[in-house]
Structure 1
Amino acid sequence: MEMRKLGKLWPVSALTLGGGGLGQIWGETSREEAVATLRLAVERGITLIDLAPLYGRGEAEAVAGETFSSGWPDGVRVTTKCMVGQRHLADIAGRLEKSIVRSLATLKREQADIFILHSNICPDDYVYERDPAFEDYGVVRWSAFVNEVAPAFEALKEKGLIGNWGITGTGLPRSIMDALRGTPKPAVVQAVTNLLDSPGGMRRYEEPPEPRNIIRTAKNNDVGVMGIRAVQAGALTSAIDRPLAADDPELRDYEKAAPFRKLCRELGEDPAIVAHRYALHMQGVETLVLGVKNRTELTAILDAEARGPLEEETRKRIDALRLNFQMPRMPIDGDGTL
């Protein structure tokens, strides 16, 4: 397994095992299979496990706690998260501390290596026209982030409950990039990393998502990048493996990706494997979070990582499809391109 430096922190495996699959967000699995999948990931060289209480209502964290009930392996690190919204404004610090204490008890650990804000960040005057109710439980406005959330994370570091903190880079792009340039700033950001440049259903705002601009800004400010959504919740696989409504963003992306699947057929390759290999070597991404739910899916991606970078000609053919085309509204941060 290739090792890379995560921002200014420590070496990390190119692949991270995500908790979405362990928590059965991406389809059904069993507790036994989830435990076996986590064990295999560590045996094959994965050094970071990315979890959250929301993944299966605590199931992903419970899987990790059971797997390593007698002690976490040396060199294996863990992230967990907390969702904060407008209804938590009265005591944001208290919510964050209560959440991390509960997660640590489940994980059977004394400290989380990284504690990540699971919420959107947006300007103080922004209105979520698509989903106003989302603001109540999943949105932190800029002033609250600067004045309450960031200081609360720093306080948890001082207490030793967390090693570092990060943000989920799926909120308003301009606010995410401002946070990456700020003081104090997160140690890591989780950024959308796929050939569509699409966050799918996680995008609850009207503006273009601009994930590559977010990644670039992170790199320019020494913030580690954890890539997420390599196959865009199934849109970049051969077939969606769960029922979706006709207007679901993931299904729309699946339809948009038809030329990509056609190209993969010509290459004789599995679209999911090609999509992961593409994302693994997107410039600026240091570790790619997997959404696998069993050993079969995990092994396929581990074997794909071992093949190395996607062939340059194949990457050029994918880029020529222009499936990631969008009209950015934000100026590009720094020189160069991603």
Structure 2
Amino acid sequence: MTRKATLKDILPSRLGFGAAPLGNMFRDIPEEEALATVKAAWEDGIRYYDNAPFYGAGLAEIRMGEALSGRPRDEYVISTKVGRVILDEIEDTSALDGDKTGVFAHGRPNKVVNDYTHDATLRSIEDSLKRLKTDHIEIAFVHDLAQDFWGDQWLEKFEEARNGAFKALDRLRDEGVIKAWGLGVNRVEPIELVLELDEPNPDAFLLAGRYTLLDHDKALQRVMPMVAERGLGVVVGGPYSSGVLVGGPNFEYAPVKPEMKQKIARIKAIADRYGISMKAAGLQFSLANPAVAAVIPGASQPSRIAEDSAALKEKVPADFWRELRQEGLVNPAAPLPA
């Protein structure tokens, strides 16, 4: 069946809201602060909201559902993800490593089951609808189907998804239940692999951290051209590279290393000379690629929303971009803002 709509057709704007922080990413965010952040996004005109069951074991979806309840459903777009099912069962995390005790240590204690099968995909969407307090979602991404999560087992997981989640989502799209589906990953390899398949046929990709000012070489060379040629689209997640681009302590969800600190310092020195904010540099760089349909910076404080919106409107002189290229701080083939 022919594809019903492109990602750019579906998304209402180029700036969206990434909900990972609402799942208590890295810190215990007060409920009122989380809800106020979504309210600020709405009042600033943001109408695209990305979520996932994995963010705080359903906490981010619950908070977003509460914050958006009462808003006209036909005025905003939601994407969420499949690949993990959240159980009512409480999990003892005392002996665990990884995201339950690190990135989302302050999330809900519910057990998270990794499952890319057909039935689990349908259940995941059904559960997300309840948490989000809505009767439909526009976009479903298959989450974290990559080596950074599964190591040597990632190809085995990919085959599980190919025979399960991909087919389930392809059918849901063709039936009009969702408008689009694709992969939501932190690596380019799964996107390359799925684009080589004859079927099923994804519509879009959410690529987190791999098409940013600090890290874009692989995506630029190996993914963006194929996506553009096929008329698909990319949502760029983590445009600030886990926050380090704008002064945070983490890169790739871990403490930043000295060589990356040096690169950031060089970019910031040039930005300061031109009076450019690092947020403007990061967002506008990602959006300059024609394959990119939207960026979704995360936020957990209302003030951050206004900063992101202002960064998109900020005037950045062409000389700034040329100097970054001359200094070897961006790939020479990367499209730059006009």
Q: TM-score, normalised by structure 2?
A: 0.76
Instruction: Name 2:90's counterpart in structure 1.
Output: none
Name the CA distance, whole Å, in 2 between partners of 1:26 and 1:216: 34
- Where structure 2 has 5 or more consecutive residues not aligned to the other structure, the ranges are 86-112
Please give the secondary structure, in 1, of the residue aligned with 2:7: coil
- Alignment of 1:96 onto 2:121: yes
Q: 1:21 and 1:265, CA in 2 relative to 1: closer, same or farther beyond 3 A?
A: same
- Alignment of 1:268 onto 2:275: yes
Instruction: Name 1:194's counterpart in structure 2.
Output: 212
8 Å Cα contact 2:34/2:63 also seen in 1: yes
Q: 1:141 and 1:171, CA in 2 relative to 1: closer, same or farther beyond 3 A?
A: farther
Please give the secondary structure, in 2, of the residue aligned with 1:12: coil
Q: For structure 1, which segment, 101-110 or 31-40, has the greater mean C-alpha deviation from structure 2 after superposition?
A: 31-40
Q: CA deviation at 1:150?
A: 1.5
RMSD: 3.2
Q: CA deviation at 1:69?
A: 2.5
Residue type of the alignment partner of 1:289: I
Please give the secondary structure, in 2, of the residue aligned with 1:115: strand
Name the CA distance, whole Å, in 1 between partners of 2:293 and 2:260: 25
8 Å Cα contact 2:84/2:124 also seen in 1: no
Instruction: Name 2:104's counterpart in structure 1.
Output: none
Q: 1:24 and 1:270, CA in 2 relative to 1: closer, same or farther beyond 3 A?
A: farther
Residue correspondences, number: 300
Paired-residue identity, %: 22
Name the CA distance, whole Å, in 2 between partners of 1:23 and 1:84: 15
Instruction: Name 1:19's counterpart in structure 2.
Output: 19
- Alignment of 1:283 onto 2:290: yes
Q: For structure 1, which segment, 109-118 or 157-166, has the greater mean C-alpha deviation from structure 2 after superposition?
A: 157-166
Instruction: Name 2:43's counterpart in structure 1.
Output: 43
1:49-70 deviation per Cα after TM superposition (whole angstroms, max 9, x unaligned) = 0001111222211111111233
Q: CA deviation at 1:100?
A: 0.9
8 Å Cα contact 1:84/1:139 also seen in 2: no
Instruction: Name 2:131's counterpart in structure 1.
Output: 106
Instruction: Name 1:80's counterpart in structure 2.
Output: 80
Aligned pairs (5 A) from 1:21-170: 21-25=21-25, 27-83=27-83, 92-121=117-146, 134=151, 141-157=157-173, 161-170=177-186
- Where structure 1 has 5 or more consecutive residues not aligned to the other structure, the ranges are 122-127, 199-207, 327-335
Name the CA distance, whole Å, in 2 between partners of 1:320 and 1:77: 39
Residue type of the alignment partner of 1:65: G
Name the CA distance, whole Å, in 1 between partners of 2:52 and 2:245: 24
8 Å Cα contact 2:206/2:234 also seen in 1: yes
8 Å Cα contact 1:17/1:41 also seen in 2: yes
1:137-171 deviation per Cα after TM superposition (whole angstroms, max 9, x unaligned) = x7654543433331121233356653321112433
8 Å Cα contact 1:97/1:156 also seen in 2: no
Q: For structure 1, which segment, 59-68 or 262-271, has the greater mean C-alpha deviation from structure 2 after superposition?
A: 262-271
Name the CA distance, whole Å, in 2 between partners of 1:159 and 1:284: 26
Name the CA distance, whole Å, in 1 between partners of 2:157 and 2:261: 32
Name the CA distance, whole Å, in 1 between partners of 2:67 and 2:149: 39
Q: CA deviation at 1:9?
A: 3.8
8 Å Cα contact 1:225/1:287 also seen in 2: yes
Please give the secondary structure, in 2, of the residue aligned with 1:286: strand
Q: 1:177 aligns with which of 163, 180, 192?
A: 192
Instruction: Name 1:322's counterpart in structure 2.
Output: 328
1:74-117 deviation per Cα after TM superposition (whole angstroms, max 9, x unaligned) = 320100012369x967x711211111111100011111111101
Residue type of the alignment partner of 1:193: Y
